[in-house]
Structure 1
């Protein structure tokens, strides 16, 4: 997403910005850890016979056989990759300024996919058409809004191939995981493969660990934050699949007073200490300010959680595979287990 440079962009823009959304994906106003290697994922065997899939818009896509030539939002492509389904092209944050894989690229080898757009608002329609796509896949933060598919070229893009949109909000993390697993399976992924079942078991174990950690320290409060040069965004936990699930597991979050769109509250840096918090989950996306940069802001440096060293990265746009989500739960559980009350 674009950086949260403006404070009054649409929620979609902000989300993409990487800033406000920061926390609960919450923006729209204005990843996982491993990357760059092809991995040992095997290509999913193409399914024979007719293929169909009904997405989270309620829209059914059909073809005579399972699509092989797939173009997807980077994070969604990375989730499919973990199940053995590889894509031809991607759009969304894929490559950093120094040419390395973005956190949202997961284990994909980005040198082997066509990058149609790397930033918010960028999508090369001509390159997309040249790929002769059989399916377009992306996330959905708002009903019928296709993540990183520009509004100005959406009609042209959607005429070229069927599309699938899957919720990244208005659903919890297990729900988001299941939907991407459903899509991968429809495309030929073996969901009984040991790699998949082991990852799911690890995720379930991590969820229970987080539940117990939250139960053991019920007085700890967690703030979901994202920093831009001018603003500090505090997200509403229920508005994103990951933090909604953490809340369901018992994690106590700061509940900001969101703007009219309901995803986050925009605070000037002078007011960054408005909410008491013992742990800060800080947006880890490319384009948002990280602790090494934020330390130059006095109000950030003075926050109790910052002074106590209780700031942890937040994977704001998770790669929704069990393999990538299990560590997110483990890391938050560890942070809570080790944290002390400072607010």
Structure 2
């Protein structure tokens, strides 16, 4: 979704096209591991007799003999499930930085306590995955039925290990996505009435209302907001129609810049740095994820950025355009946005 990923060449950046997944190599000894997975379950256990099913956002109903154990998920999905009370044994996607610290997409997960089977785009160890004896694989989808970060060329091998669930997170309703992760978590045994879950929902609702009120103030000041991802090569202006979080903010009253020439895959208009001033904004949301340049870096290295009115005035706020889709994950982002809208002045 973002035009930049750690250690990924510009041509392979998933955020620009959101299409085509890179392949991992063929898995040596995979057949043995798959056989081990198939033999690891006790067919006579009482739990298996109960059965489990879940209809995902591909319209596919996944059925297993019992509630799946050893869930493995894309890091964004794993983070959302964690906030609802489900812990995954393995994850793939941006999880750890080179210094060993958690990537921003890891949310509240202890990254030292999960098996990382792939940390960058195109990386997915089928051997490690199978060794976990997974009962279910969960990933997000920007566009159905493509599972995000599941490499296309090894997708069949991955599918042979365990059933999968896809949750649509692109171009849809934010509250709807959160509810879907809640439903999945509940089916896996989470208690949605647990205090941490209900407290997070209350905080989310209060934060949404704070953005609604702040947006009224911003509208009175005629403020324009722009969401961007920035690399050394280009500035990417996000369209609020395609990003689920921006849709929610817009529904709360935030007035966004809408780029005119969206790429074929949607999500962004790509601008050269010479044309970075094409759109005027009073507040800029800057993609916080790993691999994207941050405001302090941009001020030092990109003269055209430093000339933007909002940048010059220091009116920027972090944008997590692949957030944890849970009440706990979104609430702090709403609170930060509300404060930025309240504090921003008309500069463009």
Q: Equivalent residues in 2 for 1:181-330 (5 A)?
A: 181-218=182-219, 219-257=222-260, 258-295=262-299, 296-330=301-335
Using the size of structure 2 for normalisation, the TM-score is 0.87
Total equivalences in the alignment: 314
Q: For residues 289 and 88 of structure 1, do their structure 2 counterparts lie closer, same or farther at Cα, with a shift above 3 Å needed?
A: same
Kept in 2, the 8 Å contact 1:203–1:325? The answer is: yes
Distance in 2, Cα, partners of 1:65 & 1:55: 17
Tell me if structure 2 keeps the 8 A contact 1:47–1:188: no
- Structure 1 contact 5–228 (Cα < 8 Å) conserved: no
Output the aligned Cα RMSD: 1.7
Residue 28 (1) aligns with residue 18 (2): yes
Unaligned runs of 5+ in 2: 21-46
1:14-93 correspondence to structure 2 within 5 Å: 14-15=14-15, 28=18, 49-93=50-94
Query: How far apart are 1:262 and its partner, in Å?
Result: 2.2
What TM-score results when the alignment is normalised by the length of structure 1? 0.88
* Bigger Rg, structure 1 or 2: 2
Q: Contact 2:224–2:257 at 8 Å: present in 1 too?
A: yes
Question: Deviation at 1:175?
Answer: 0.9
Distance 2:50 2:342 in 1: 50
Tell me, in whole angstroms, the C-alpha distance in 1 between the residues paired with 2:278 and 2:14.
Answer: 21
Structure with bigger RCO (C-alpha 8 Å, 6+ apart)? 1
Equivalent residues of 1:210, 1:330 under 8 A apart: yes
Distance 2:332 2:286 in 1: 16
Offset, 1:5: 4.4
Distance 1:132 1:47 in 2: 16
Q: 1:59-93: per-residue Cα shift (whole Å, max 9, x none)?
A: 11111211111100011111111122111110000
**Runs of 4+ with deviation above 6 angstroms:** none
- Superposed displacement of residue 53, structure 1: 0.5
Decide whether the 8 Å contact of 2:69 with 2:135 is kept in 1. Answer: yes
CA apart distance, 1:260: 2.0
SS at match of 2:176: helix
User: 1:282, 1:29 → 2: CA distance?
Assistant: 23
Is residue 228–residue 288 contact of structure 1 (8 Å, CA) maintained in 2?
yes
Q: Does the 8 Å CA contact 2:286/2:317 hold for their aligned counterparts? A: yes
Report the Cα distance in structure 2 between the residues aligned to 1:192 and 1:268, rounded to whole angstroms.
Answer: 49
Query: Per the alignment, in what secondary structure is the counterpart of residue 217 of structure 1?
Result: helix
CA distance in 2, matches of 1:86, 1:151: 26
Separation in structure 1 between the aligned mates of residue 132 and residue 264 of structure 2, nearest angstrom = 40
* Contact preservation (8 Å) 2:5, 2:292: no
- The whole-number CA distance in structure 1 between the counterparts of 2:335 and 2:78 is 23
Aligned to 2:147: 146
1 CA distance for matches of 2:230 and 2:18? 14
In structure 2, which of residues 317, 336, 344 is the aligned counterpart of residue 339 of structure 1? Answer: 344
